[in-house]
Amino acid sequence: MTISTGDRLPEATFIQLGAEGPQEVKLSEKLAGRKVALFAVPGAFTPTCHSAHVPSFVRVMDGLKDKGVDEVICVAVNDPFVMKAWGEATGATDAGITMLADADGAFTKAIGMDFTALPVGLVARSKRYAMLAEDGVVTVLNVEESPGECEISAGEALLAAI
């Protein structure tokens, strides 16, 4: 089943690389009583993700905070080491975006956002989307038709929808 507006996000455990090494991050703890913008990409360092999607959220961080967003989270089916390096390379970490690894794709599969594109080497990855969740319930959901597009899932589009 694909997640929809009005649905509660399922429990999930992500991995984040911290000062002590890889650590588990429970999604429910990030969402409880909070307004969270969560966006997902097909892969760290891939062209559209690197040059368009993450930079769009870096650009709108202040606007999202002004609209009451407590945290912005980027999710990818990658390992936490890659996510940390990518956050540093794009300026996402400095901007305050939380970079979380859905290493085995369990969250992505649970919300019905997984896909495979063998011709470009993407297997069991996440569709490109952006959502706003309030206390764990999806209130805005923008999903791209194609993984190479970044329009309705861009930071500016999510900011305008809030």
The residues annotated as belonging to the active site are 49
Q: How far apart are CA 137 and CA 135, in angstroms?
A: 6
Rounded Cα distance, 76 and 91, in Å? 16
Rounded to an integer, what distance in angstroms lies between the CA atom of residue 24 and that of residue 152? 30
Backbone angles phi, psi at 118, to 5 degrees: -55, -40
Rounded Cα gap, residues 66 and 139, in angstroms: 17
